[in-house]
Amino acid sequence: MDLSYVKKLIKLVSESEVDEVEIEEQGKKIRVVKSKPNIVATVPVASLSQQAAMEAPIAAPVAQPPAAAPSAAPAPSKSSHHEIRSPIVGTFYRSPGPDAAPFVDIGSSISTGTVLCIVEAMKLMNEIESDVSGKIVKVMVENGQPVEYDQVLFIVDKP
Amino acid sequence: MFKKVLIANRGEIALRIIRVCKQFGIRTVAVYSKADSDSLHVRFADEAVCIGPPPGKESYLKIPRIMAAAEITNVDAIHPGYGFLAENASFAEICTTSGIKFIGPSPEMIMAMGDKALAKDTMKKAGVPVVPGSEGVLKSTEEGLEIAKAVGFPVIIKAVAGGGGRGMRIVREDSEFDNAFKTAQHEAQQGFNNPDVYLEKYVEEPRHVEIQVFGDRHGNVIHLGERDCSVQRRHQKLIEESPSPAVDENLRQRMGEAAIKGCKAVNYENAGTIEFLVDKNGDFYFMEMNTRIQVEHPVTEQVTGHDLIKLQLQVAAGAKLPRRKIVPRGHAIECRINAEDPFTDFRPSPGKITDFHMPGGFGVRVDTHSYAGYHVPPYYDSLIAKLVVFAQTREGAINKMASALDEFTIQGIKTTIPFHRQVMRNEKFRSGKFDTGFLNSFQIVPEESP
């Protein structure tokens, strides 16, 4: 598959309102997905090939392994990583109270709606809930640190 | 003096306030939406907090987020700038109860002047001349028509909660009244969620002349002369100047005294502007009061030698206003440069500025947040720069403005620079004999694109 074609397609998707484009021709398939804020390009090669999926030259995430190829070994697959961002401004707390255990830790399994942390603003404790299921792989903020709107709080590995 | 100030605004005014704070050694906190991450006010503030996505409603108008930002950065005062929350009494109230000084008047003063009918009533009681009309809200068409006949046509029906030129209807004779009344009420309900309207004599060929006032926390009130803002398009000011070509020393004194009377009646604190209509006979009538610093404040600064933002901070921190009478000298003009295409009915022109060169020199000032490479976002007002000139005479100022505009280069987007250049060369404008109807008869001449 022509790399410049892939690049053009990625640019097209990122600049448009479209979230996902999948093109299949002559046995080759390419799917470009816009998952906020990173764009992930997956280029499953023909199922006969043992080759792992090609990596797209933008953003950090690596390409997803093709579902159709049984032998394709998943490369360190960061494209399934989801960033949980703060919807408000305030102070970040990992536990419900000063002496309590943290809501979640690295390795914790979470599902949609799980309370992950508290962001306190103007004396109001706002519980921040997860919008995905998965496992916490990274905690991006320290306890007691001020956070701004859209600041990344956790990285979640989605199944 | 405050140690740390949060600027609850964006664009050129945020940068303006940050500059003054820096001069005082006050630490600054900028708040910004995701659309303003590369904005100059974010760059030059000591700290910056992202408070939301691009839409104003989700960011600059979001009181909880702004207060949270103020809390995590530990500021002792907030400057609201103009627009956004500057005249929001709840916001001023919340600041006060949070122990943060709101740089402006009290919530009560904001409320008193925010209700147009109440403001007019308050001024009238204080002895300030007002436009004759209804005593408050009109209860019915019949009542309105009676008052209209007593006051004399033409009259204007206005929304009590209105502003910015919306929710208004001019009526020239009895037969039109009922329709206009009902339409105005409907528009008011739609636009401001409040159908209440009042009525005033419609002052013909008026000039818009406003007086800059200042009150301190010790009961002193001063005025800093007038600004003529008659060059307006759809009630939006485009060009302002001080002094007004229509105001002589005698009128200035009378208007100034009236403005001070009005302010004392409400114990006004900090910067404010009282807008008057001046008719062809030199009679002036109170129109409304703006309880904030205004866009065109630089024009007053140039002719009085006083930094008004600095004065706002000082007064808010408890300082007394200067005792000596402030006498304007020379002449200053401001042109608002907007990201709009004056050749296609001022259609907004957001986008990337590819080339940006400002004029300069003695008596040439540019207040702007724009630069080459800056993306003018589509979410906010279109003001990208204020070009202010100062000279000894009005003619000198006009000529200086004309050459400064010739030099001012902004490429990549359309701006109103060509419009201003044409106005500076316009006979009527140069004569000084024009009113708020000026732009109705002004025709922009198509030019070859540069």
Report whether B256 contacts B225 (CB < 8 A): yes
DSSP-derived letter for residue B225 is E
Best CA proximity match to A34, nearest among A12, A51, A53: A12
Give the pLDDT score at B343. 95
Would the CB atoms of B64 and A148 count as touching at under 8 Å? no
Best CA proximity match to B231, nearest among B247, B252, B207: B207
Question: Which residues face B49 on adjacent strands?
Answer: B31
* Least CB–CB distance from A122: residue in B34, B49, B71: B71
For residue A10, give the 3-state DSSP assignment. Answer: helix
- Alpha-carbon separation of residue B129 from B250, B273, B286 (angstroms): 16, 16, 6
Rounded distance between C-alpha atoms, residue B93 and residue B102, angstroms: 8
Rounded distance between C-alpha atoms, residue B163 and residue A85, angstroms: 38
Would the CB atoms of B64 and A122 count as touching at under 8 Å? yes
Report whether B170 contacts B204 (CB < 8 A): no
Place B165 in a pLDDT band, splitting at 50, 70 and 90.
Answer: low
Amino acid at residue number A83: E
DSSP-derived letter for residue B34 is G
**Strand intervals (E) in B66-181:** 77-79, 101-102, 155-163, 166-171
Rounded distance between C-alpha atoms, residue B196 and residue B345, angstroms: 32
Q: What is the least distance, in Å, from the CA of A118 to any CA of chain B? A: 14
* B34 vs A: CB within 8 A: yes
Strands B101-102 and B77-79: parallel
For residue B203, give the 3-state DSSP assignment. Answer: coil
Best CA proximity match to B349, nearest among B404, B417, B422, B408: B417
DSSP H or E stretch at residue B286: strand B284-290
For residue A151, give the 3-state DSSP assignment. Answer: coil
Give the pLDDT score at A67. 40
What percent of chain A has a predicted confidence (pLDDT) above 70? 70
Would the CB atoms of A122 and B98 count as touching at under 8 Å? yes
Q: What is the least distance, in Å, from the CA of A148 to any CA of chain B? A: 5
Region B309-338: mean pLDDT is: 95
pLDDT at B394 over 60: yes
Rounded distance between C-alpha atoms, residue A104 and residue A102, angstroms: 5
B292 assigned to active site: yes
If you average pLDDT over every residue of chain B, what do you get? 94
CATH of B4-103, picked from 1.20.1090.10, 3.20.20.140, 3.40.50.20, 3.40.50.12780, is 3.40.50.20
Tokens of B154: 């033409």
Superfamily holding B132-201: ATP-grasp fold, A domain (3.30.1490.20)
Give the pLDDT score at B193. 84
Report the b/e string of B382-413 with b at 16+ CB within 10 A.
bbbbbbbbbbeebeebbbbbbebbeebebebb
Would the CB atoms of B49 and A148 count as touching at under 8 Å? yes
Sign of CA dihedral B146, B147, B152, B155: negative
Rounded distance between C-alpha atoms, residue B70 and residue B62, angstroms: 13
Tokens of A31: 């799917």
* Least CB–CB distance from A90: residue in B34, B59, B68: B68
Report whether A126 contacts A115 (CB < 8 A): no
Question: Which residues face B80 on adjacent strands?
Answer: none
* Least CB–CB distance from B68: residue in A89, A150, A151: A89
Q: Which residues of B touch A89 (CB under 8 A)?
A: 49-51, 65, 68-69, 72
Report whether B69 contacts B6 (CB < 8 A): yes
Amino acid at residue number B77: A
Domain boundaries, chain B: 4-103, 132-201, 207-440
**Strand intervals (E) in A43-147:** 81-85, 90-93, 109-110, 115-121, 124-129, 134-139, 146-147
* B29 vs A: CB within 8 A: no
DSSP-derived letter for residue B379 is S
Q: Which residues of B touch A93 (CB under 8 A)?
A: none
Rounded distance between C-alpha atoms, residue B437 and residue A142, angstroms: 60
A-proximal residues of B, 371-400, CB under 8 Å: none
Would the CB atoms of B65 and A150 count as touching at under 8 Å? no
Q: What is the least distance, in Å, from the CA of A155 to any CA of chain B? A: 20
Mutate to test the interface with A, among B33, B36, B47, B65 (most CBs of A within 10 A): B65
Q: What is the least distance, in Å, from the CA of B14 to any CA of chain A? A: 19
Among B19-33, B148-162, B201-215, the range with the most confident prediction by mean pLDDT is B19-33
* pTM of the predicted protein model: 0.80
Rounded distance between C-alpha atoms, residue B219 and residue B318, angstroms: 11
Rounded distance between C-alpha atoms, residue B175 and residue B186, angstroms: 19
* A91 vs B: CB within 8 A: yes
ipTM of this predicted structure: 0.74
Would the CB atoms of B34 and A148 count as touching at under 8 Å? no
Report whether B378 contacts B409 (CB < 8 A): no
B176 alpha carbon, distance to own chain's centre: 32
Give the pLDDT score at B408. 98
* Residue the block writes with tokens 């702007």: B368
Rounded distance between C-alpha atoms, residue B298 and residue B414, angstroms: 24
Place B84 in a pLDDT band, splitting at 50, 70 and 90.
Answer: very high
Region B242-248: mean pLDDT is: 96
Would you call the peptide bond into A98 cis, given omega within 30 degrees of 0 as the criterion?
Answer: no
B-proximal residues of A, 61-80, CB under 8 Å: none
Rounded distance between C-alpha atoms, residue B180 and residue B156, angstroms: 9
Rounded distance between C-alpha atoms, residue A121 and residue B66, angstroms: 10
Q: Which residue out of B16, B27, B252, B292 is catalytically annotated? A: B292
Q: What is the least distance, in Å, from the CA of A26 to any CA of chain B? A: 40
* B6 vs A: CB within 8 A: no
Tokens of B190: 């739609």
Helix axes B116-125, B107-114, angle to 10 degrees: 100
Q: What is the least distance, in Å, from the CA of A122 to any CA of chain B? A: 6
Structural domains in chain A, CATH included, are 3-76 (no CATH), 82-157 (2.40.50.100)
> What DSSP assignment string belongs to A63-78?
PPPPSS-TTPPPPS-G
A-proximal residues of B, 253-282, CB under 8 Å: none
Give the pLDDT score at A12. 76
pLDDT at B21 over 80: yes
Would the CB atoms of A90 and B49 count as touching at under 8 Å? no
Give the pLDDT score at A51. 35
Q: Which residues of A touch B53 (CB under 8 A)?
A: 149-150
Rounded distance between C-alpha atoms, residue B424 and residue B241, angstroms: 12
pLDDT in tens, B172-229: 999 999 999 999 998 888 877 888 999 989 888 899 999 999 999 999 999 999 999 9
Best CA proximity match to A155, nearest among A108, A95, A101, A87: A108
Region B341-369: mean pLDDT is: 96
Report helix, strand and coil shares of chain A as percent, to nearest 5. 10, 35, 55
* Least CB–CB distance from A148: residue in B51, B64, B67: B51
For residue A95, give the 3-state DSSP assignment. Answer: coil
Q: Which residues of B touch A121 (CB under 8 A)?
A: 64-65, 67-68, 71
Rounded distance between C-alpha atoms, residue B104 and residue B334, angstroms: 24
Superfamily holding B207-440: ATP-grasp fold, B domain (3.30.470.20)
Give φ, ψ of A109 to 5 degrees. -90, 135
Region B348-371: mean pLDDT is: 97
* B50 vs A: CB within 8 A: yes
Best CA proximity match to B43, nearest among B3, B14, B65: B14
pLDDT in tens, A42-93: 444 343 333 333 333 333 333 334 343 333 344 444 568 999 999 999 999 9
Would the CB atoms of B67 and A122 count as touching at under 8 Å? yes
